[in-house]
Structure 1
Amino acid sequence: MPEYVPIKGYDQLMDALKMHSKKNCLIYMYFFGEKDKNGQSWCPDCVAVEQAVDTAFRENAHPNSLIYTVDVGSRDAWKNNSTNKFRFQPFNVTEIPSLQRWNGAERLDGDQLRKQSLIELFFEEAKLASSTEATIPCK
């Protein structure tokens, strides 16, 4: 079963990637807007796709993978901040929610995450690509 790794902020993500990339792990990253004390994101699109993305992870993610759930920050830190570090290399997140495979071409952004067929294709392609690489269990 995949392992979920909650990530808050850019620096924490970079630290986690340094640690797990050495193991050549298959890493999925799901970027979303910060949640309040009730577990509700300020980002309405993130709220709208959350259940579909959770289901997709459970049903489609490679069993030896890591799933980084990445909090990009508050509404102000994201919405009106063109200098948010997630917007630049290596992540290039231009909208949230966003789903990416680390070191892969697979990614879905915004409304693409509302389409079940695209989510399934994302995981199919990520599994296929990782099967040709030297990916080992991350645990």
Structure 2
Amino acid sequence: MTTVVEIKGFDEFAKYAENIPANDPLVLFYFSGSKLPNGSSWCPDCVEAEPIIKTFLTEVKKDVKFVYVDVGDREYWKDRACPFRTDSRTKLMVIPTLIKWKGVQRLEGSQCCNRELLQMLFEDDD
């Protein structure tokens, strides 16, 4: 079963990450640009990846906590001092990025649209 959590901004992300119970199921963080009034992200790569990931989540056969993280608007994201870029837990270089928490595995950019890579990320146990 997939549980979806939505987070906005770095402070909410940091607070959530600090309070993840050790016995939580697989936790995946998906970092995406904020939504425009039309409901789509300002980030074209995020717009492309999101439906593929959402469809994939409906097919997952194990307990997964999927945390959608809104990294903010384009100007905030593009700032080199953006905490999502500089924080040691995230070190984001591009969005979208999907990170397996407490592991080293991640998918970045167009990799988030690759079903085989998604399968490996969800099924590989460290």
Cα drift, residue 39 of structure 1 = 1.1
Q: Is 1:82 matched with 2:80?
A: yes
Moved over 6 A (4+): none
CA distance in structure 2 between the aligned counterparts of 1:93 and 1:6, rounded to whole angstroms: 18
Partner of 2:120: 121
AA aligned to 1:85 is: P
CA distance in structure 1 between the aligned counterparts of 2:108 and 2:51, rounded to whole angstroms: 16
Cα drift, residue 116 of structure 1 = 1.3
Instruction: Output the TM-score relative to the length of structure 2.
Output: 0.91
CA distance in structure 2 between the aligned counterparts of 1:87 and 1:70, rounded to whole angstroms: 13
Partner of 2:29: 29
Gaps of 5+ in 2: none
Any conservation in 1 of the 2:32–2:70 contact (CA below 8 Å)?
yes
CA distance in structure 2 between the aligned counterparts of 1:117 and 1:34, rounded to whole angstroms: 26
Partner of 1:7: 7
Identity over aligned residues, as a percent? Answer: 36
CA distance in structure 2 between the aligned counterparts of 1:91 and 1:61, rounded to whole angstroms: 26
Instruction: Output the TM-score relative to the length of structure 1.
Output: 0.83
Q: Deviations over 1:72-115 (max 9, x none)?
A: 00010012x00010112110110000001111111000011122
The structure that is strand-richer by fraction is 2
Any conservation in 1 of the 2:2–2:60 contact (CA below 8 Å)?
no
Cα drift, residue 61 of structure 1 = 6.5
Over aligned residue pairs, what C-alpha RMSD do you find? 1.4
CA distance in structure 2 between the aligned counterparts of 1:71 and 1:23, rounded to whole angstroms: 24
SS in structure 1 at match of 2:66: strand
